[in-house]
Chains A and B, each alone.
Chain A
Amino acid sequence: MNMELDLAPGRGRIWLEALSGETGVVAGGVASVLKADATFAGEKVRFLAVVPDPASHFPRARNGEVGLEQGWTLAKYVREAIEADRGGAPRPIVAIVDVPSQAYGRREELLGIHLACAAAVDAYASARMAGHPIVALLVGKAMSGAFLAHGYQANQIIAFDDPGVMVHAMGKAAAARVTKRSVEDLDALGETVLPMSYSIRNFAKLGVLQRLIQGVKADAPDGADVDLVRAELIQAIADARAGANDLSNRLNSEAARKVRHASIEVRRLMTEQWPVN
């Protein structure tokens, strides 16, 4: 009973294959997490994607959700890169994001899906702090806890300007139920209350996202699309290297200064009141 499965399910796989030239399937690994290393502008770049696996060991995580195995496997593949590059040049890591949700299930809760997703968060953040440029490329859905685990710790977030790309804390149908609104009302609300919006263009106004990529055929890219996205990634990797290893660019951006001014004011006050010496 997954909500809004109206999109082609395979964007994560399509883009991982298109950008890396490999299938990303890891022998002996879970089939739902793809990993590929490709040479990009003369350096090795690691690509990761979470994709559907109808045969998954865990039935509630078969549609591309981030569940127990996905969280821990992402952590493993990110940490492998940290270990391999220790003392050398930290390779860029690109999270290709098309995740409809975290896995909703009884076994998931029992076995600690919160910890599995936290492990992925930890790995990505630790890689970022160790100097790996982390780029989240949003090609489809980036929903809630699934996005926290896979992509939201990136120094650079870039997204296709495409109706199938969205970031949100809850699926639209569920959010409408919980906030007692119709789906239409929810869409209208998003135009005035920016953080409520499901549109990627409105998300871009929050200042958290670095760039929208125009005119890409997200479901069926041709060579020109892939070249364009590759160039965008190379730019994002360079920007990540030029910037800080923390997430401060999400508050310093021009858009953030407009929309997140309450955040900025809270930080000013807290810093002022924090005891010195």
Chain B
Amino acid sequence: MNAEIDLQRFLARRSFVELTARERALAILDAGSARELVGPFDRQHSVWLEMQGIVPQEDDGVVVMHGRIDGEPAVVIAIEGAFQGGSMGEVAGQKIVCALELATRDHERGRSTRPVLLFETGGVRLQEANLGLAVIAEIQSAIIALRRHVPVVAVIAGLVGCFGGMSLAAALCSRLIVTRQARLGMNGPEVIEQEAGIQEMEAADKRLIWSLIGGEQRAAVGLADDLVEDDADDIARTVRAAFREAKPVTHRTEQVDLFLDRLAAIDTDRVKDGATLRGLWGKGEAK
């Protein structure tokens, strides 16, 4: 690619990472089509946070917007990373579950609704521990039910990334779009360092972390589908393309024999870094 053109693009782009959840949802949907469901004026916040002296937010950190993508009905579910780390509490999580289930109901009634999930989450909200975990199980179930009807398209843009039980939810989606700023992992680096020691994972070593679980690495080894620039237009275009292609999808989570064979072949003394894994699972340069 030509460096000069790259520079022009770089200057013209609008960062998606820097947008709030609400702005992100608007950036994905067709202009003028969006309507927020169970928004802040419905005042659905977390009583559990209040009980623990934490100021709640009237959308509980999840924005659900109904609108259109390429003229077709769509729902965008955006998690706000700036509120409690995008963590899943009772209300936040149930907004996601219910939106996904209503999209499934639409399809069962012969009406298409295109679902998009914008992940920015550390996983369970520890202040709502068991209700957070419970609702994540429900989110996962709802994704699996919905993706039989329509591709469930997910974006992880960063900077929070996608962790904990919600990393499983992202892995269940039909199409996973990531930026270089994204991270996707089950356990946060800090937790691994704490549980397994600094020789296992040095959480402060950002270069190491991104080389293991960053968006570029995930796309390079086929654990994400599209690597995109941090550009709102680019991301919206990639989301639209995912629905247009509408090719039959074999979900990664169904490729059991492939991954069991791959794991059996792993030399655990040798495979510890991103570059080595690219040599084994890589599909060349990421798209």
A residues neighboring B (CB under 8 Å): 1-3, 57-60, 68-69, 72-73, 75-76, 79, 101-102, 104-119, 121-123, 125-126, 129, 144-145, 147-149, 152-153, 167-170, 174-175, 177-179, 189, 192-197, 203, 206, 208, 246-247, 250, 260, 262-263, 265-267, 269-271, 273-275, 277
Contact = CB atoms under 8 A, between A and B. Distances in A.
14 contacts: A104-B200, A107-B266, A110-B274, A115-B171, A115-B223, A117-B186, A168-B130, A195-B130, A196-B130, A247-B138, A263-B135, A266-B38, A269-B42, A271-B102
A169 B187 CA distance: 12
B254 interface: yes
Given A104-B187, A262-B46, 14 more contacts: A1-B196, A1-B197, A60-B196, A102-B186, A114-B167, A119-B259, A121-B144, A129-B145, A145-B164, A168-B130, A270-B38, A270-B98, A274-B102, A275-B66
Contacts of A195: 48, 90, 128-132
A270 B131 contact: no
B37 interface: yes
Contacts of B140: 118, 121, 125, 148, 153
B160 interface: no
Contacts of B47: 262
A189 B129 CA distance: 12
B144 A144 contact: no
Contact of B98 (A72, A110, A116, A271): A271
Interface string B60-72: 0000101000000
B181 interface: no
A104 B130 contact: no
Contact of A114 (B134, B170, B201, B274): B170
Interface residues of B: mostly helix, strand, loop or mixed? helix
A104 B192 contact: yes
B141 interface: yes
Contacts of B197: 1
A275 to B, nearest CB: 6
Contacts of A265: 44
Contacts of B274: 110
Contact of A105 (B141, B168, B196): B196
A203 B133 CA distance: 12
A196 B129 contact: yes
B227 interface: no
Contacts of A59: 268
A105 B268 CA distance: 12
A260 B131 contact: yes
B252 interface: yes
Nearest to B218: A112
B127 A196 contact: yes
A148 B168 contact: yes
Given A109-B185, A270-B38, A104 B191 contact: yes
Contact of A262 (B90, B126, B129, B172): B90
A269 B44 contact: yes
B273 interface: yes
A275 B34 CA distance: 12
B150 interface: no
Contacts of B194: 174, 177
B263 interface: yes
B184 interface: yes
A147 B164 CA distance: 12
B94 A109 contact: no
Nearest to B102: A274
